[in-house]
Amino acid sequence: MSLEPPYKLTVKRALVCVILLAMPVRSIASPHAARSAQTSRLSDNAQVRAALDWFAPNISWVNDQQARLTAIPAPPFQEAARAAAVKTLLAETGLSVEIDKAGNVIGELQGANEKEIIIVAAHLDTVFPAGTDVKVHREGTRMTAPGISDNGAGLAALLAMVRAVQSAHLKPQRTILFVADVGEEGEGNLRGMRALVEACRSKLKAVVVLDGSGTDHVTTKALASRRLEALISGPGGHSWSDFGMPNPINAMVRGSVRFINTKVPVSPRTTFNIGQIEGGTSVNSIPHEARIKVDIRSESEDELVRLETALRECIAAGVRDEMESARDRSRGKLEWKVDLLGSRPGGELSADSPLLSALRAADDAVGNQSRVERSSTDANIPLSQGIDAVSIGVGGSGGGAHSLAEWYDSAGREAGLKRVLLTVLGVSGIAEEKSR
């Protein structure tokens, strides 16, 4: 569809374009009253209504963009092709779009107050390695493909937001950056969001992260996590003639068994996962190397530290056990190390934040209820720095995230998109046109 460039305002209209809806939510006694006031003021605005009305007739367009973007592979550290496609789609709407050094696609919708910024972000990357078949199978409202929900759904919602806002010629009070960011998954270590927050920290008022499907949750608590790699190496040799030489895989197995027997508390919830294991060259070789990648998460920073220490101790003990049982220790020594691949800081949105009020008002407006969750998302970075942030699903339903059978069903998607838009506009405010 064709859209007019966003800022084709006449001088007269531009002059009367002022005033914000930024609600003094903190000063209002009843949160529900505040929310109702916020909702009604927003939906009283004709342009907001026009933007909300954009979704229903355009759901199939949104679905098509989701399928199209999901079919462009975006393995970790290889998001460029998908980023280029998003850049084109954002630029078509008249936004000024650039790709920053990190690889983030940033579309800017200038607000009346350019000194304050709201970021709306959906991550570009998937967990799937290059070569994964990402063809999208569609049947009715259901689509199946790796990455279709996480985060094809978020990217499609991002594009829908921009289209809705631009088609309604809506000018926000605060500048909104619509961003498709890199490096959310795994070893990407949130590098895209880190770069974004770094670049606009002094102006940044809130971050709304669009990730996955659904409307049943709002992530306001950032789960702290660490990713570690343990490596054990030795001389390696022949399975027959060098038998008795210390074996790095044996040592890794011994250490891993110790580690997975580590007790972790139910509360604060603490988890660990050995997610990858590699090493060896052939069945008849004593390997020269073995490595594992481990993800640890906890509601408590102390537990995280304790678990990381446990991993180091267990790997060291595994090496010691293997050396002690080796028949011929003169034939080589094992070396080991544990490296930090990534660390996601924790944080929490305050219960009386304007962003949470805006989200609750949006929930009320679309008749939705959502529960607060703790999770590890792009919102970790702003939350850890005291900047308001949430991560929310974008409507519809989905499942099988991070699996080859991942699916998304767009039924009910409209309410989710409205919820996102009302949340974003609730914190950006509208530069209202006032008639004289």
Residues of the shown chain interacting with Zn ion in the complex, contacts defined by CB under 5 A: 150-151, 211
Nearer to Zn ion, 149 or 173 (CB): 149
Nearer to Zn ion, 126 or 410 (CB): 126
- Six token digits for residue 265: 């508390």
Q: How far is the CB of 347 from Zn ion (least distance, A)?
A: 18
Q: How far is the CB of 49 from Zn ion (least distance, A)?
A: 31
Q: How far is the CB of 409 from Zn ion (least distance, A)?
A: 17
Nearer to Zn ion, 116 or 181 (CB): 181
Q: How far is the CB of 377 from Zn ion (least distance, A)?
A: 7
The C-alpha angle with vertex 190 and arms to 185 and 195, in degrees rounded to 5, equals 145
Nearer to Zn ion, 68 or 402 (CB): 402
Residues 6+ apart with CB under 8 A from 312: 338
Give the nearest residue (CB) to Zn ion. 150
The C-alpha angle with vertex 373 and arms to 369 and 374, in degrees rounded to 5, equals 170
**What is the sign of the dihedral through the CA atoms of 391, 394, 398 and 401?**
negative
Q: How far is the CB of 184 from Zn ion (least distance, A)?
A: 6
Nearer to Zn ion, 95 or 119 (CB): 119
Q: How far is the CB of 149 from Zn ion (least distance, A)?
A: 8
Nearer to Zn ion, 181 or 432 (CB): 181
Residue 428: Cβ-neighbour burial (10 angstroms; 0-12, 13-18, 19+): buried
Query: Would you tell me the crossing angle of helices 80-91 and 59-70 to the nearest 10 degrees?
Result: 150
- Six token digits for residue 355: 């962003």
* Residue whose C-alpha is closest to residue 142's, from 63, 48, 26: 63
Q: Where are the alpha helices (DSSP H) in 216-300?
A: 248-260
